[in-house]
Amino acid sequence: MMITDAEFSCMLSAQICTEKKTILSVDDILALIGDHCHGVIGQLTEDWGEVLFSALKRAGGTAFSNMAVGYNNVDVDAANRNGIAIGNTPGVLTETTAELAASLSVAAARRIVEADQFMRAGLYDGWLPHLFVGNLLKGQTVGVIGAGRIGSAYARMMIEGFKMNLIYFDLYQSTRLEKFVTAYGQFLKANGEQPVTWKRASSMEEVLREADVISLHPVLDKTTYHLINPERLAMMKKEAVLVNASRGPVIDEVALVEHLRANPMFRVGLDVFEDEPYMKPGLAEMKNAVVVPHIASASKWTREGMATLAALNVLGKIKGYPVWGNPNAVEPFLDEKAAPPPACPSIVNAKQLGLPSSKL
Ligand SMILES: NC(=O)C1=CN([C@@H]2O[C@H](COP(=O)(O)OP(=O)(O)OC[C@H]3O[C@@H](n4cnc5c(N)ncnc54)[C@H](O)[C@@H]3O)[C@@H](O)[C@H]2O)C=CC1
Ligand SMILES: O=C(O)C(=O)CO
């Protein structure tokens, strides 16, 4: 969506891109920005760097928002140089994305897609003790790498839903998550059940060695690029389940294909791919891989929320509103019955640009 400089009373006019291409190139976007453009709402598939930010600045623009929480497609330093505020959409994706990661975990552990294909191919000719035997989750250990908003929500689902024990690795301690597991463990114990436990790992390797199901939820940056590589794959249990609903390049996908080929009991659930929209050669043929096309945030509520937050980021900046004080508490912007607060919900470079902060 491109916001132009024609203003109607307090409303701004918006141009919605009707281009049929799924992924816009830098040249496509340059043409859309043109000579007059105050702000842009873009997608995670676009490459926002110096070329686009300087063009947006020349066109009179001051704001860009990804319609996404992840913004590894955005060169924030280039935006800073050009004085462009960068918005993202935290919070509205948390539960929806975690639910998909949980679904991939179960689908991979219980071989649901393989069994579905077998059934549709007319191959089922009666119950057998060894037909599509998979992994029981209850009492096993779930490993989370990146226990931020989504990683923590995923952990809670796997712990509460399947009574798994938790091991996690993050640069920061997740006290809320730890407290939740402790309290849930006490509840289970009080009801005569085996309590669940948690452990904060001192290294990522500890998670990879100990967990039965591992889900990746970090941001993509230099520290997480190819975080899963041949050496780390080799550390994982032979029958482990690995799930990725963060960003494709967090896994070395060529190494993953090799590992899947060599370890048929090792299974993966992937929502994201290293060269999206493509898969590395061989992945599509792997029966021990469940693959879906980057749909982790695809619930109606979430997609509407993402669009709302992205639009309010850009609109708020154009109107000169301050930046919301806590991007983890964006609910007031999503209340359909009340006008949104006069603030930009989430601007990631607010500090660098010296933008004023709103009071919650
Ligand atoms: N597949 C999909 O459709 C979606 C993917 N995502 C991806 O998920 C990511 C996480 O989203 P949120 O949970 O909302 O963000 P968040 O910022 O709450 O969580 C990210 C966590 O990663 C941790 N982290 C950073 N570097 C790390 C490292 N080297 N090792 C371990 N942990 C590290 C951070 O400390 C933080 O706790 C996004 O950046 C995005 O790339 C988000 C939504 C949907
Ligand atoms: O918000 C994100 O980062 C996404 O990947 C959207 O699905």
What pLDDT is stored for residue 166 in this prediction? 99
Q: Is 208 in the pocket of ligand 2 (CB under 6 A)?
A: no
Q: Is the CB of 297 under 6 A from ligand 1?
A: yes
Terminal Cα distance for the chain, rounded = 28
**Confidence (pLDDT) at 16:** 85
Tell whether ligand 2 has an atom less than 6 A from the beta carbon of residue 309: no
| 352 Cβ contact list (under 8 Å, min separation 6) | 76, 80
Quick one: pLDDT at residue 14?
Answer: 82
12 and 131 assigned to the same domain: no
The DSSP code sequence of 11-75 is EEEEE----S-SS--HHHHHHHH-S--SEEEE-TTS-BSHHHHHHHHHTT--EEEESSS--TTB-
The pLDDT of residue 359: 75
Query: Can 294 be counted among the known catalytic residues?
Result: yes
pLDDT value of position 360: 65
How many folded domains does the chain comprise? 2
ipTM above 0.90, yes or no: yes
pLDDT at 188: 98
Structural domain boundaries, residue 320: 5-92+298-353
Whether residue 101 is found in the same domain as residue 138? yes
329: domain CATH number is 3.40.50.720
Q: Are residues 256 and 331 in the same domain?
A: no
For residues 207 and 282, membership in a common domain is answered with yes
pLDDT for the residue numbered 8? 35
Q: Residue 223 CA: which ligand 1 atom is closest?
A: 29
Q: Whose CA is nearest to atom 7 of ligand 2?
A: 297
From residue 5, alpha-carbon distances to 25, 237, 313, 334 in Å are 23, 57, 17, 26
- 170 Cβ below 6 A of ligand 1: yes
CA 212 to centroid of ligand 2, rounded, Å: 26
231 part of the active site: no
219 Cβ closer than 6 Å to some ligand 1 atom? yes
Q: Specify whether 212 is located in the same domain as 262.
A: yes
From CA 306, how far away is CA 314, in angstroms rounded?
13
Give the per-residue pLDDT at 5. Answer: 47
Q: Which of the residues 200, 247, 259, 267 is marked catalytic? A: 247
Cα-based torsion angle of the residue sequence 74, 318, 354, 81 in order, rounded to the nearest 10 degrees? 40
Q: Are residues 69 and 115 in the same domain?
A: no
Is 38 in the same domain as 69? yes
Which residues, given as ranges, of the chain have pLDDT below 50?
Answer: 5-11
pLDDT for 1 equals 55
**pLDDT computed for residue 4 by the predictor:** 52
247 given a catalytic annotation? yes
Residues 40 and 55 in one domain: yes
Q: Which of 206, 239, 276, 303 is catalytic?
A: 276
